[in-house]
Amino acid sequence: MLVEPEKNINHQIALHHAHQDETKMQPLISMKGIHKSYGRAVAIERLDLDIDEGKFIAIMGPSGCGKSTLLRCLAGMEELSGGKILRQGIEINDLPIWERDTPLVWQSLALFPFLTVLENVEFGLRMKGVGRGERRERALRWLKRLQLEDHSDRGVDQLSGGQRQRVALARCLVTEPSVLLLDEPLSALDAHLSVRMQGELKRLQRELGITFIYVTHSHSEAFSMADQVVIMNEGRIEQIGAPEEIYLRPATPFVARFLGGSNIIECKARERNSGEIILESTDGSFKCDSKVTSNVSCGDKVNLIIRADQISVTAEAGWAENEIYCQVIGEEFVGALVNLRLETSSGTPIIVQLQQRDMEALDIEIGGGVNASWHPEDGHIINA
């Protein structure tokens, strides 16, 4: 009996698991040393990444870091230059797109303008050879679930941006995949609609238990939806962790700068005792709680990271153990918050995030001097 092509990977996985210890856990997707280059241009450089079943994974990084290329390699749209992609222990490098069970929601949505909403949603099932009656039933079920049943006979050009987004999701989800790839799917939506769709995506992911692998530029999208965030830079992974972990403890200067809202002061570790580390910089010496630092030895060059919302500003000195005199060079109003831009005597930029009412109470002027201070436990040290 022949196995249908689209079920080959699932058939192989089933056979593989028949010989596995039932108690043994393994990642749903495992990328081992994957490499992708276009001539001399390297898009992905020897990357390792494991993705567990049922997780919402967000991949972030600047333009050109390789995150969309990584997604296309997973989908089978790009041929790897090296390494392996495993799905539950089975290598899928040579499987064509239609056998991988990894549909992709594009940034442009890629809906067919000459088909109705219903026909767009049915399309994937039609390509799999599902009968007309069954595919219509399944498509209508998903349109109802995404509150689009009243739009089934419309053309996609008659829909709003949010409705088209939901049609693209329904077209992928109707095939009942175990993995869904999403390449910046909300980037074309306005801010209000984007926030609303974030809630819908997270709700769907939790209800369905599908693994979402989501590429985005947006910090708010990644941090509000993802269970795990992957930060990429120049084809490599800089840090992997829960959103809170990455926000509070960036592992590299790149991650701190990319996320924004963090200050980086170059220092040298001068002294270490059981409770704190003394750091020396061109702007003075600072104390850092040794409980919240990485392994640092005396003489090491390090970067001291302090979040903008952890720094206080006073007109007079002497209010805290860690303090730098700065000049005010600018203000940036962001609703109820103000980003106050400062500069130390050595030229190191410092950004402080204050409530609007606190800013008004300080009576600060551009060009004036202030003292920026923070507690030892609010600093975070990473090796330079």
Residue-wise pLDDT tens for the chain (384 aa)?
444 444 566 665 565 555 455 435 789 999 999 999 999 999 999 999 999 999 999 999 999 999 999 999 999 999 999 999 999 999 999 898 888 888 888 776 678 888 899 988 998 888 888 898 998 999 998 888 888 888 889 888 888 888 888 888 888 888 888 899 998 888 777 787 788 888 888 988 998 899 999 999 888 899 999 999 999 999 999 999 999 999 988 999 999 999 988 999 999 999 887 788 999 999 999 998 877 665 777 888 999 999 999 999 988 887 788 999 999 999 988 877 889 999 999 999 999 998 888 887 787 888 999 999 999 989 889 887
Indicate whether this model's pTM tops 0.85.
Answer: no
Cβ neighbours around 90 below 10 Å, total: 16
What's the rounded Cα separation, in Å, for the pair 213 and 348?
37
What's the rounded Cα separation, in Å, for the pair 263 and 86?
39
Q: Which two tokens stand for residue 199?
A: 């809630």
Q: What is the pLDDT of residue 2?
A: 43
What's the rounded Cα separation, in Å, for the pair 55 and 68?
19
Interior/surface letters 62-80, b for 16+ CB within 10 angstroms, e for the rest: eeebbbbbbbbbbbbebeb
Q: What is the pLDDT of residue 156?
A: 86
Q: Summarize pLDDT for 180-230 with one digit per residue, the tens.
A: 999 888 877 778 778 888 888 898 899 889 999 999 988 889 999 999 999
Place of tokens 């039933």: 137
Q: What is the pLDDT of residue 343?
A: 95
Q: What is the pLDDT of residue 17?
A: 56
What's the rounded Cα separation, in Å, for the pair 229 and 245?
9
Q: What is the pLDDT of residue 22?
A: 44
What's the rounded Cα separation, in Å, for the pair 106 and 9?
23
Answer yes or no: are the C-beta atoms of 341 and 330 closer than 8 Å.
yes
What's the rounded Cα separation, in Å, for the pair 86 and 182?
19
Q: What is the pLDDT of residue 5?
A: 47
Answer yes or no: are the C-beta atoms of 60 and 214 closer than 8 Å.
no
Q: What is the pLDDT of residue 292?
A: 64
How many angstroms from the chain centroid is the CA of residue 327?
A: 35
**Domains of the chain with CATH codes:** 5-103+177-247 (3.40.50.300), 261-383 (2.40.50.100)
